[in-house]
């Protein structure tokens, strides 16, 4: 399987049109069609369903698209590392992160390092723990900032020196905004948005309330992946979102944060895969980040 064939395949998958993809790739349509046909023969599977107007991925094509993106990302990283081997620290640091103000430790580290090495760049992906860990496993990011609880056995891990309070984001003009804290009796009366995170949710209402709150007596209006769009629904007054205090959206005058009582806090960890060889850019960032955490009170987990 050739790298060129995967690039051609991804362009067709993105454009959903053989003619448009051929124009972008600067090849003739017959050449592109032949490359795709050869790839299908090599894999002994049909990758596209062709109609008069579009070229759509089959189920097997979707699977290959995911793998091809991972493969080409690693190819690009490898070529970049060797192309820059005789330069000062340069290249891209890829970081996946949860939505939290604890991220300032990461961004401040990069900013200081970029001031020393202007050719250094970064790519930052946002998502919940499930999404970010999946990107880390596939090699699409070098590092991940995860809100706990998180599975870290397979990773090298640095514990962040800061924690986040957990509570409910509510409309600022709602009666809920007047509460000093949210207890179990309050929570069951609220229309709620909950995180879509599947593994090890940050907040376990049943444990927190000693069984007074269960999944059956919560009024769940919906779920969110990233709180940004969830906060837009909170502003409408339709629901309140269980989340952390450290969100930039809470600076919006239309929103307010009310902490839980009993108090709930979560920590965060900065992880990367064990036994993976890091690029020079990633190594330089990690060294600088360790120093940043030592000054801030962080530690190895």
285-290 long-range contacts (CB < 8 A, ≥24 apart) are 285/93, 285/109, 285/110, 285/113, 285/120, 285/142, 285/143, 286/143, 288/109, 288/112, 288/113, 289/105, 289/106, 289/109, 289/158, 290/158
Please state, in angstroms and rounded to a whole number, the distance separating the CA atoms of residues 291 and 301. 15
Q: pLDDT tens across 150-195, in order? A: 888 889 999 999 999 999 999 999 999 999 999 999 999 999 999 8
Mean pLDDT of 137-146: 92
Mean pLDDT of 6-17: 89
In order of start, what are the domains of the chain with their CATH numbers?
A: 3-75 (1.10.10.10), 84-162+267-300 (3.40.190.10), 164-265 (3.40.190.10)
Maximum distance among all Cα pairs of the chain, rounded to whole angstroms: 68
pLDDT-wise least confident of 224-238, 243-257, 259-273: 243-257
Question: pTM (2 decimals)?
Answer: 0.71
Please state, in angstroms and rounded to a whole number, the distance separating the CA atoms of residues 60 and 39. 12
CB count within 10 Å of CB 114 equals 16
Give the pLDDT of residue 250: 66
Distance of CA 138 to the CA centre of its chain: 12
Mean pLDDT of 263-284: 92
Helix (H, G, I), strand (E, B) or coil at 240: strand
Helix (H, G, I), strand (E, B) or coil at 294: helix
What residues are paired with 268 via a beta bridge? 147
Mean pLDDT of 135-158: 90
Mean pLDDT of 236-251: 84
Residue 38 above 80 pLDDT?
yes
268's enclosing H/E stretch is strand 268-273
146's enclosing H/E stretch is strand 143-147
Give the pLDDT of residue 285: 97
Which of 247, 292, 236, 250 has its CA nearest to residue 110?
A: 292
Residue 254 above 80 pLDDT?
yes
Give the pLDDT of residue 80: 67
Please state, in angstroms and rounded to a whole number, the distance separating the CA atoms of residues 122 and 281. 9
**Residue of higher predicted confidence among 249 and 61:** 61
Give the pLDDT of residue 83: 61
Give the pLDDT of residue 192: 95
Please state, in angstroms and rounded to a whole number, the distance separating the CA atoms of residues 122 and 133. 18
Mean pLDDT of 100-124: 94
Structural contact between residues 120 and 114, judged by C-beta atoms closer than 8 angstroms? yes
Quote the percentage of the chain above a pLDDT of 70: 93
Residue 136 above 60 pLDDT?
yes
Does the N-terminal peptide bond of residue 149 adopt cis geometry, omega within 30 degrees of 0? yes
Tell me which residue has tokens 């060889």: 277
Backbone angles phi, psi at 55, to 5 degrees: -130, 105
Residue 96 above 70 pLDDT?
yes
Residue 121 above 80 pLDDT?
yes
Residue 300 above 70 pLDDT?
no
Please state, in angstroms and rounded to a whole number, the distance separating the CA atoms of residues 70 and 50. 25
């Amino acid at each position: 399987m050739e790298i060129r064939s995967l690039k051609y395949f991804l362009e067709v998958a993105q454009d959903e049109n053989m003619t448009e993809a051929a124009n972008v790739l600067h090849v003739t349509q017959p050449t592109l069609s032949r490359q795709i046909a050869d790839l299908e023969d090599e894999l002994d599977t049909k990758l596209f369903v062709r109609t008069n107007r579009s070229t759509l991925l089959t189920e097997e094509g979707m699977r290959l698209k995911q793998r091809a993106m991972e493969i080409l990302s690693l190819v690009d990283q490898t070529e970049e590392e060797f192309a820059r081997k005789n330069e000062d620290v340069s290249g891209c640091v890829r970081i996946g992160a949860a939505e939290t103000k604890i991220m300032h430790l990461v961004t401040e580290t990069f900013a200081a390092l970029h001031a020393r090495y202007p050719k250094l760049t970064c790519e930052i992906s946002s998502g919940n723990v499930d999404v970010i860990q999946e990107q880390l496993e596939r090699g699409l990011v070098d590092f991940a900032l995860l809100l706990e609880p998180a599975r870290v056995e397979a990773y090298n891990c640095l514990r962040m020196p800061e924690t986040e309070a957990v509570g409910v984001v509510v409309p600022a003009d709602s009666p809920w905004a007047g509460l000093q804290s949210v207890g179990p009796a309050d929570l069951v009366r609220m229309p709620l948005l909950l995180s879509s995170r599947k593994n090890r949710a940050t907040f376990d209402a049943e444990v927190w309330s000693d069984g007074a709150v269960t999944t059956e007596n919560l009024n769940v209006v919906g779920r969110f992946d990233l709180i940004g769009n969830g906060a837009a629904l909170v502003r409408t007054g339709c629901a309140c979102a269980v989340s952390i205090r450290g969100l930039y959206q809470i600076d919006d005058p239309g929103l307010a944060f009310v902490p839980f009582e009993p108090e709930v806090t979560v920590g965060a960890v900065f992880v990367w895969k064990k036994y993976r060889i890091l690029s020079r850019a990633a190594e330089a960032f990690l060294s600088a980040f360790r120093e940043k955490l030592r000054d801030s009170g962080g530690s190895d987990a």
